[in-house]
Amino acid sequence: MSQKQFQAPRGTSDILPEEQVYWRFLESRAEDVATRFGYERINTPAFENANLFVRSVGEATDIVEKETYTFEDRGGDLVSLRPEGTAPVCRAYLQHGMHNLPQPVRLFYMGDFFRYDRPQAGRYRQFHQFGIEVIGETDASVDSEVIDLAWSVLESVGVKDVTLLLNSIGDATCRPGYIDELRSYYRSRASELVHDDCKRRLETNPLRLLDCKNGACQPLIDAAPGSVDYLCGDCSKHWDALLGDLNAVGRSYKIDKRLVRGLDYYSRTVFEIVPPSDGQQSTLVAGGRYDGLIELLGGRPTPGIGFALGIERVLAAIPRDDESITKIDGNKIIVAHMGDESKSAGVKLCSELHRAGVAAVLAPPGRSLKSQLRYASSIRATHAVIIGDRELESGSFMLRNLVDREQREIPRDDLVAALIPS
């Protein structure tokens, strides 16, 4: 009786061996850049107390309203698979007394996140982010640093021609006035508001009206007041300082009033980095300042800022023909052999290569040379060492470069040294 085969759940993917080199490339470049900027890695659990996200991400957000995987565990605790990284990092910051360290604290993370989103290109139910947080500093120089870091990561993996979109949504002093303006603007054009989510947002979360992706709402958004025109003195100063610092580090920006965050603990800087062809699922990096979050989680008032970079989306934007990517894995040797004696020599050689730190695999015994070399290509070997009777006799083995097809004979005793990466 035939049974239907299992498939990976909708919105998840297997990251297959041939794809792994690109992941390693991006992860190692991101880690290098973050380290160069003075950030240290933190790992937090894949699930948290559900209330952490209700409180931090907010009840009236897409994430908490309809996207978290929340369930009661067998002990009766309500937990959520993490939909984002900022709240867990802030929780860890407080839990481990990092607020008692000299401030600010610079952290980065990488891992998988879970949202019950509608799966489509660039949008998955389990996806990966690289992110950073700077906690404990209000100065605009860190806002510029965070943006520069994000952009540097993209540059380091060859993603070019991106655009930085930037906005400031003010703080508790000036935002209420701006929201009033926004609300009266939308009320005056209420008849044009056709999208149900937006009708609701007008009452619950007017800022979110501006990031509506619905086509019908776009003309309304275009003519809406923008928050940078309503900043108070302090927020204005911060904004000007940020623009000055961005100029100093050579990062150009486009001010975009559509960039908002609907929650009270967000303040001032909001930014996104988008690729040249800006579709709706294409934002590569999203970030901003969250000066009220730590307090909301029970800490002293402490400013913070960070971003999250969508790893799958950046991987989709990386040029695939770049040889420097596939090279990061170094040499991988297949040891081909013909007959029992040469197989024994091959077993010994493989073991020596392993001990010397070179990746090596003994070709499957009992097969033709052609079939062994076919195997070599399926495991992405870069070189083949070929051992036959003639080679055993001469004491020199044939080394074939499988990438450029060149081959030469090397004395057995020099072989291992020749393959150790320089």
Q: Which stretch binds ligand ATP (CB under 6 A): 89-97, 217-225, 262-270, 282-290?
A: 282-290
Q: Are 143 and 237 in contact (CB under 8 A)?
A: no
**Centroid of chain to Cα 23:** 10
* Member of 48, 137, 312, 391 binding ligand ATP (CB under 6 A): 312
CA dist list (Å): 112 to 68, 78, 109, 248, 314? 13, 20, 10, 34, 15
Smallest gap from residue 419 Cβ to ligand ATP (A)? 39
Nearer to ligand ATP, 147 or 338 (CB): 147
Residue appearing with tokens 């900027």: 37
* Member of 84, 143, 245, 391 binding ligand ATP (CB under 6 A): 84
Smallest gap from residue 224 Cβ to ligand ATP (A)? 18
Buried b (16+ CB within 10 A) or exposed e, 383-408: bbbbbbeebbeeebbbbbebeeeeee
Q: Does 201 bind ligand ATP (CB under 6 A)?
A: no
Q: Does 124 bind ligand ATP (CB under 6 A)?
A: yes
Q: Are 108 and 34 in contact (CB under 8 A)?
A: yes
Smallest gap from residue 344 Cβ to ligand ATP (A)? 50
Q: Are 384 and 378 in contact (CB under 8 A)?
A: no
Residues binding ligand ATP: number (CB under 6 A): 15
Beta bridge pairs of residue 274: 163
Q: Does 117 bind ligand ATP (CB under 6 A)?
A: yes
Nearer to ligand ATP, 145 or 312 (CB): 312
Smallest gap from residue 159 Cβ to ligand ATP (A)? 12
* Member of 149, 162, 294, 308 binding ligand ATP (CB under 6 A): 308
Q: Does 283 bind ligand ATP (CB under 6 A)?
A: yes
How far is residue 142's CA from residue 121's CA, in Å, rounded to a whole number? 33
5: DSSP letter: P
366: left (phi over 0), alpha (psi -120 to 50) or beta: left
Smallest gap from residue 187 Cβ to ligand ATP (A)? 25
Q: Does 127 bind ligand ATP (CB under 6 A)?
A: yes
- Give contact residues for ligand ATP (rule: CB under 6 A): 84, 115, 117, 122-124, 127, 129, 283-284, 286, 308, 310, 312-313
